[in-house]
Amino acid sequence: MSTIIAVENYKLKGKHGVFDYEREKDQPFVVSIWVVLKEPASDDELASSVDYGFLQRTAHDVIARGDSVKMMETLCDKIIEIVSGHLNVAGVKLRIEKPDAPMPHNGGLAVVERTWPEGQTF
């Protein structure tokens, strides 16, 4: 049996993007993070699981408060580096959406998804 803990559709703002003007003002991002626990929480204590707040704070610290970067892939790497370091995390799936990403045509949603370790399934 495996246990997945998640925070989905966390909306926040940050200054990230390939173009200089994207890094000058806040833009919306939507983050979903799923983690697979190494060991199922069995003693009704938060310490034996992963706190949802830890996942949300990590996304917030990297996207809203962290250094501006060009690529959403870089944001993914930074978040996964932190989350994967948790003692009870065996795998991570991360999805970052950028609803207002500049694209040549109307419509569509810019999305990057990453998993750790490579090949991890959810």
Residues known to be catalytic: 98
Q: Are 22 and 68 in contact (CB under 8 A)?
A: no
Q: What is each CA distance from 114 to 7, 14, 58, in whole angstroms?
A: 15, 19, 16
CA distance 106 to 94: 25
Instruction: Give, as one character, the DSSP assignment of residue 39.
Output: S
Contacts of 66 (CB under 8 A, 6+ apart): 14, 78
> For residue 12, which phi and psi values (nearest 5 degrees)?
-155, 175
Q: How many CB atoms lie within 10 A of CB 108?
A: 10
